[in-house]
Amino acid sequence: MIGALAHERTAPQPLSIDVDLHADLSRAGTTDNLNLTIDYGAVCDRIVALCDEAQPQLLERLAELIAAELCGIDGVTAATVTVTKLRPPVAADLGTSGVRITRRPA
């Protein structure tokens, strides 16, 4: 669930989440060694779990939670997260609305 208004929280809102991870993956790229890269399946699983657990009101909050989680992955130097609401409940005929943030590990 995501949404700041009561009617938004009565049913799941369709979202699109895009993630760009910044990391030195040159060793994985030159050796073709799966153990030297990021486990993208685990990244996706964690994002889904965060969405289910946190249920924030704002897209901005969800993006921050995802970025913080991804910045904790060993070797990640930055994470760019885009969270888009596919059918925002607004008066205007708006197909999508969203936010994009870039964060670095502390």
| Catalytic residue list contains 37 | no
Exactly one of 85, 87, 103, 105 is catalytic; name it.
85
pLDDT at 106 over 70: yes
Residue 81 · residue 100 · CB < 8 Å: yes
Share of the chain above pLDDT 70, in %: 99
Tell me which residue of 58, 74, 85, 60 sits closest to 21, measured CA to CA: 74
- Here the tokens at position 21 are 């991870």
What pLDDT score was predicted for residue 1?
66
> Residue 55, by phi and psi: left (phi above 0), alpha (psi -120 to 50) or beta?
left
pLDDT at 94 over 70: yes
Pairwise CA distance, residues 57 & 46, whole Å = 19
pLDDT in tens, 24-45: 999 999 999 999 999 999 999 9
What pLDDT score was predicted for residue 10?
79
pLDDT in tens, 38-67: 999 999 999 999 999 998 999 999 999 999
pLDDT in tens, 81-90: 999 998 777 7
pLDDT band at 75 (very low <50, low <70, confident <90, very high): very high
Domains of the chain: residue spans and CATH: 6-103 (3.30.1130.10)
Q: What is the mean pLDDT of the chain?
A: 92
CA-to-CA dists, residue 5 to 53, 54, 57, 63, 70, angstroms: 19, 16, 8, 18, 28
